[in-house]
Amino acid sequence: MLLSRASLAQLPGTVARPARAVDVIRTGIVHFGPGAFHRAHQAAYVDRLLESDPRWGIAAVSLRSGTTTDAFRAQDGLYTLAVIDREPSLRIVAAHSDAIGPGEGARLRKLLADPTVRIATSTVTEKGYCLAGDGTLDLAHPDIVHDLGQPAEPASVIGWIVAGLGDRRDAGLSPFAMLCCDNMTGNGARLRAACVALARARDAGLADWIADAVAFPDSMVDSITPASDAAFLAKVEDALGVEDRAAVQRERFTQWVLQRFELADGPDLAAAGVTLTGDVRGYEQAKLRILNGAHSTLAYVGLARGHETVFEAMSDAALEGFVTRLVHRDIAASLKPVDGLDKAAYAGAVLDRFRNPEIRHLLAQIAWDGSQKLPYRLLDTVRDALDAERSVERLAVPVAAWMAFVRRKAEAGETITDPLADTLAAAAISANPVTAMLALEPVFGAQLGADERFRAAVREAYQHFAQGDAGPLLGR
């Protein structure tokens, strides 16, 4: 038996269920890309919103695969959200009021033109927006070429957004707000520019209307969402007593930061837990430096100490203490004040996430692409510390650990997963690896690599890793 409205009453009492009748929900949001992250994150926020305002049910739209939309139809839009933490929980989410799969273009077109639909959202990954390397719309992308030739039958998400907005303008209706929920810096501005570019290639008037009248707020989202593999689905079935083909799992921590935007009689997203702000970029920077900077530190130092996962690294008392001091005293100190963000509380929440024994996050995977990640995760913080004449002693440790990590890989003949792999390997096994790697301008730039305070701190820390004894560094 499948999870459905009919089987809700049979579920164990430990499973949380919707607090209102499932059949009262109306469609007010159209979502492109109902993958696991959407179901575990955005839909969970909307599910809470629906308890007091049933106007905002989500129509799940999948343009490529019907797997999820078919499961929604079979299960009356219901699925299980498993929170995996020290105290796990199961909750039935009933945020989806409709499902539209591949080949249902006519129904999607009609829905986008419905005045009761006030918001459209998307989680299709950066690739799904058909952007070029510079972040602008790739007019040579096959899907965009198709949409320019056959605008009434779009292939891309951009094409569908423009078609839906065009229909509303032609009908004299107000536009829906378009919320990109993919992790791209300035995602709202990027999506606006892409939609305007596609519209302008066909109709300058529509392009101007989209640019002037449609809200494309920036957003930031965060929550670890492991894959719903067969073992997880079987575990959910055992717990429920019924099969759930759309079940998802995530950590307890979840964050949705959204730029304030105007929408008359719109949803009370703040009441559902969404952070509304005028400074999404400030939250993004906090995430990049605190969460991602700490992640990279745990990865490179943790691997040097023989650990495999984030949880194992945080169970190393010396390393946990070092990362805690690094985050609170060095990284958080580099961040400018952000309206509504308590840096200390956020840093504490991030570190607590790393202590979750149920999340198996591999350090080796976090360590990939260090040359691309470190400039934003750690080196910008180093620059700020140097400018403020603060110590870079602790900040030099993960940088030195990365250099030692690359050298170990190169000497062992193992694959270095990084776009600069060959360049990094050559520098790491040179006679003076620290000097050679600091000279890599694509990573360190010209000024930071030449700063003697930073060079000395990295050189001293690197010696400990080269000798296989990072312990003294962790007491800093």
Q: Would you list the domain boundaries of the chain?
A: 8-278, 281-475
Tokens found for residue 471? 């312990």
Q: Which residues of 62-91 are buried (b: 16+ CB within 10 A; e: fewer)?
A: bbeebebbebbebbbbbbbbbbbbeeeebb
Please name which of 248, 232, 241, 245 lies closest in space to residue 11, comparing C-alpha atoms.
241
Whole-number pLDDT of residue 19: 80
Fold designation for 281-475: N-(1-d-carboxylethyl)-l-norvaline Dehydrogenase; domain 2 (1.10.1040)
With beta carbons less than 8 A apart as the criterion, state whether 289 and 380 touch: yes
> In a 10 Å sphere around its CB, with 0-12 CB exposed, 13-18 middle and 19+ buried, how is residue 297 labelled?
buried
Tokens found for residue 44? 């969970």
Please name which of 313, 284, 282, 278 lies closest in space to residue 296, comparing C-alpha atoms.
313
Please name which of 209, 212, 189, 185 lies closest in space to residue 199, comparing C-alpha atoms.
209
How many other CB atoms are found less than 10 A from the CB of residue 392?
21
* φ and ψ of 250, to 5 deg: -155, 165
Q: Is 407 left (phi over 0), alpha (psi -120 to 50) or beta?
A: alpha
Distance of alpha carbon 247 from alpha carbon 228, whole angstroms = 7
Distance of alpha carbon 409 from alpha carbon 412, whole angstroms = 5
Task: Give, for all 476 residues of the chain, the pLDDT tens digit.
Answer: 999 999 999 999 999 999 877 778 999 999 999 999 999 999 999 999 999 999 999 999 999 999 999 999 999 999 999 999 999 999 999 999 999 999 999 999 999 999 999 999 999 999 999 999 899 999 999 999 999 999 999 999 999 999 999 999 999 999 999 999 999 999 999 999 999 999 999 999 999 999 999 999 999 999 999 999 999 999 999 999 999 999 999 999 999 999 999 999 999 999 999 999 999 999 999 999 999 999 999 999 999 999 999 999 999 999 999 999 999 999 999 999 998 999 999 999 999 999 999 999 999 999 999 999 999 999 999 999 999 999 999 999 999 999 999 999 999 999 999 999 999 999 999 999 999 999 999 999 999 999 999 999 999 999 999 999 999 999 99
Whole-number pLDDT of residue 87: 92
Please name which of 433, 424, 443, 435 lies closest in space to residue 465, comparing C-alpha atoms.
433
With beta carbons less than 8 A apart as the criterion, state whether 327 and 353 touch: no
Distance of alpha carbon 440 from alpha carbon 421, whole angstroms = 12
Q: State the pTM of this model.
A: 0.93
Distance of alpha carbon 373 from alpha carbon 289, whole angstroms = 10
- The one-character DSSP state at 331 is I
With beta carbons less than 8 A apart as the criterion, state whether 373 and 406 touch: no
Whole-number pLDDT of residue 21: 77
Please name which of 121, 325, 82, 355 lies closest in space to residue 221, comparing C-alpha atoms.
121
Encoded amino acid at 382, one letter: V
Please name which of 163, 22, 135 lies closest in space to residue 79, comparing C-alpha atoms.
22
> CA of 410: how far to CAs of 403, 427, 431, in Å?
11, 10, 14
Whole-number pLDDT of residue 23: 79
**CATH (residue range 8-278):** 3.40.50.720
With beta carbons less than 8 A apart as the criterion, state whether 32 and 61 touch: yes
**Pseudo-torsion of CA 438, 443, 444, 446, nearest 10°?**
100
